[in-house]
Structure 1
């Protein structure tokens, strides 16, 4: 059998997967926090017809003669370049200018967490900051303890919060019904307004939005719903305040959109389509040659 038949099949399979990845990228062109995929190919085994020889004083060297046996997919990378920012002027819409990810949890603690760049958060009926799937957006205090962020009332003074804002370091600035201004804080059991002008002010209790920086973002695993799961190849998971892990800055009223470039994707789609067609033509040509060989007996 002609090796080109199998080489053509391997090429068609590879370009089919490439088209699948491109289709997913295009489908998520407007998905908040989406990171595009990229397919990289590599060749398969090579059959050596004759090996190379070393040059000497009597004879020159000869290059090896090899016939390739097709291609395969080397990697399907997730590209973590920044997406375009979109201004929404919604206070709970957040974007990170930097390498950090937001940390969310379905349980409200740091034992079962996911990372995300999708900062389209809202407050639930109890005033807790959640994502679009109902996962709790985690906050963190100075000792690294994680908890949900609840922006409802000063549970120590019994005063409701009337307004709030989130600064570039992820701290939540709140105003209560008496007009007092301070940072949202957590003392281990209750949320309260921490006023720097009052006695007993403790900066270590100030609550800020938890972030995480990993050494190898490409090692994160997509689990759907714009969430990533930390794998062993992602490296160290530096969890904490964004100013401590050097993860960048947080912007309020802004969302990070998809990093998909339609111009690039449609160009790659044309290349993948033509590559698929070329490999299909290789198979039909090989089939014609085999037909001629079979007809030799007639």
Structure 2
């Protein structure tokens, strides 16, 4: 008699959990980048009332008789599909297709190892690209987490950017006033020229740390220092007195050196084809490529774990986290270091001829984004369909009410049974 009550209580619990999921979806109907959840019910345990039979030569078979004890929540799924996009600020970015932006604090870079793809899981994933350069020069999202990508560490002889192959926080480069000389007309004698001391502005990118290369020698791995000290003696200034410092004075008291300023940029844009962050340096009036956005790709996008505030983690169920660049731009940048977690193959030591390569171990990151693109100036809208959620709310309410009715009826029948005893 009371089996119906147990089943209804289980049904009430399951419907209440579904109601919580629906409520969360509706609450985030205007949350940028939110991905809705779906509750899947499963029937609960059964007791065997009578077993079945296959039949004999004289009688037919019978089906097993079982009594169930309600329903339960089988899973709460995450739907990572995209819906629509809303206009935003000029540096806002929205992902089209699978993938995530990579963010974290400034110290996460120290734990990332290019030879260990599992170390990438210390990064946080997000679909919300509300990016801005903050006062400390770092590119951050709206919550202050720094955005990870690939920094420009210099330019070659043709003026093309040299990009690090290691994943680091993106930030503005520094600028430096470098002493130089120029030849000008002598104001006292127009027929003569004189040479005078002047200066020019030069961009100084963050310096690289060095690490082991594939051949055992030293190689640039591109993890960027904070670089609070100037790179040129002309900028060795005592931050307390303002006096110029010599090299010996700097070595004796390095903390006395004034910090180098970040360069001032105007018209900062993000290239939607390559993810390049480009700005015009005001001091030198030159276009500078500061770095490139990195895109994270997981084996199972619907398996990522919510960590709150539109952030996710690549934990159990999501598979491997891999890093890629938009549009295959790393090929044009010449990023082929075997220590990089973006390369797919390394030279065969038995036959180092060009083009003869062997695959890297499983888990090594991919080279392309698999069709993922970004829209600059937009933010991804939530994929919650309010009409669908309201209809689910109504059916959930009716299911809950029906289960309460079963409990009421069962209680009434038990009351009649007690009255019979009296």
CA distance in 1 between counterparts of 2:393 and 2:62 reads 40
Give the TM-score of the pair, scaled to structure 1: 0.86
1:27-176 equivalences under 5 Å are: 27-88=27-88, 90-107=89-106, 109-110=108-109, 111=111, 112-140=122-150, 144-151=165-172, 153=174, 157=203, 160-168=264-272, 169-176=274-281
CA distance in 2 between counterparts of 1:58 and 1:84 reads 66
Task: Select the structure of larger CA radius of gyration.
Answer: 2
CA distance in 2 between counterparts of 1:66 and 1:236 reads 43
The correspondence for 1:215, drawn from 272, 288, 299, is: 299
Change in CA separation of 1:126 and 1:28 when aligned onto 2, cut-off 3 Å? same
Name the structure 1 match of 2:388: 264
Which of 133-142 and 154-163 deviates more? 154-163
CA drift of 1:245 comes to 3.7
Which of 210-219 and 55-64 deviates more? 55-64
Name the structure 1 match of 2:312: 228
Which of 278-287 and 215-224 deviates more? 215-224
Indicate conservation of the 8 Å contact 2:106/2:169, yes or no.
Answer: no
CA distance in 2 between counterparts of 1:285 and 1:50 reads 26
CA distance in 1 between counterparts of 2:376 and 2:174 reads 21
CA drift of 1:145 comes to 1.1
Indicate conservation of the 8 Å contact 1:35/1:81, yes or no.
Answer: yes
CA distance in 1 between counterparts of 2:381 and 2:123 reads 22
Name the structure 1 match of 2:323: 239
CA drift of 1:218 comes to 2.4
- Cα shift readout 1:102-122 (whole Å, capped 9, x = no counterpart): 010122534442100011122
Name the structure 2 match of 1:181: 287
Name the structure 2 match of 1:282: 406
CA drift of 1:153 comes to 4.6
CA drift of 1:57 comes to 4.2
CA drift of 1:157 comes to 2.5
SS at match of 1:15: helix
Question: Does structure 1 residue 292 correspond to structure 2 residue 400?
Answer: no
SS at match of 1:32: coil
CA distance in 1 between counterparts of 2:385 and 2:305 reads 22
Q: What RMSD in Å do the two structures reach over aligned CA positions?
A: 1.9
Unaligned residue ranges in structure 1 (runs of 5+) = 185-206
Change in CA separation of 1:219 and 1:261 when aligned onto 2, cut-off 3 Å? same
CA drift of 1:289 comes to 0.7
CA distance in 2 between counterparts of 1:124 and 1:292 reads 73
CA distance in 1 between counterparts of 2:83 and 2:126 reads 13
Name the structure 2 match of 1:195: none
CA distance in 2 between counterparts of 1:56 and 1:180 reads 92
Which of 52-61 and 13-22 deviates more? 52-61
CA distance in 2 between counterparts of 1:160 and 1:296 reads 90
Q: Report how many residues are paired.
A: 275
Unaligned residue ranges in structure 2 (runs of 5+) = 112-121, 152-162, 177-201, 205-262, 328-366
SS at match of 1:20: helix
Change in CA separation of 1:108 and 1:164 when aligned onto 2, cut-off 3 Å? farther
- Cα shift readout 1:172-221 (whole Å, capped 9, x = no counterpart): 1222234433522xxxxxxxxxxxxxxxxxxxxxx211111111122211
SS at match of 2:203: coil
